[in-house]
Amino acid sequence: MHVCYLHGFASSAQSSKAQWLAGRFAAHGVTLHCPDLNEPDFSTLTITRMIDRIESELRELPPAPVVLIGSSLGGFVAVQLAAGHRRGGAHPVERMILLAPALDFPQDCARTLGAEGVARWQATNRLEVFHYGYGERRPLGFALYEDASRYDAFKTGIDVPVLIFQGRADESVDPAMVERFARTRPNVTLRLLDDGHQLLDSLEIIWRGIAEALGLAMRAGNPASSS
């Protein structure tokens, strides 16, 4: 299998969570692929471009099932990507692990900015965002919001197993929204944690859940040879 980590908004492939998970997977002989979804330029970021970036990386890998681990906005992207990678292709999405997934990203942008804020962003084509991966403020074009509004995670049919870890005290993603997403989908398992959006206090719990879901827990003394 190939395991692919999709980082969150204004984050990067070098985030502490990505690096922590990469180390855990490496101990089992599994490579964690972490494409930089900011490339080639954060200011022109769109959901469609992120999907294209991931698909481009997958095409460079040998045919094998794919496990997507999506964090925050990466979770929203993972759902859209999985919808296009049905079983039978070279890289079918076999399973998803979502960490505090921003499944209502377009609607959340609208709520956070308000109608006036969205209108200003559209008129100026510029929204100043603090980028944690770069450690500085960066401009973001309106194309992200416009493109994201074309996607709806709640209307996307996903039949693969999905494991979601969501903090009850999440300040960025509404836990009730994630619960609504999981409630009517028998293929979705939701684990609510006493944690915030970054889930940094729950990494060991998350890893145990991932290892169990992927069958890695029983391989501690016999690392997997695949990537």
The mean pLDDT values, 10 residues at a time, for the chain of 227 residues are 96 94 96 96 97 94 96 97 74 95 97 97 98 96 97 92 98 97 96 97 97 76 34
pTM of the full structure: 0.92
pLDDT value at residue 217:
65
- Domain locations in the chain as residue ranges: 2-104+151-219
In order, the DSSP letters of the chain are -EEEEE--TT--TT-HHHHHHHHHHHTTT--EE---TT-S-GGG--HHHHHHHHHHHHHTSPS--EEEEEETHHHHHHHHHHHH--TTSSS-EEEEEEES--TTHHHHHHHHHHHHHHHHHHHHT-EEEEETTTTEEEEE-THHHHHHTT--GGG----S-EEEEEETT-SSS-HHHHHHHHHT-TTEEEEEES--TT-GGGHHHHHHHHHHHTT-GGGTTS-----
CATH topology assigned to domain 2-104+151-219: Rossmann fold (3.40.50)
Note the pLDDT of residue 218.
46
Q: What is the pLDDT, as a whole number, of residue 84?
A: 77
Give pLDDT, residue 89.
78
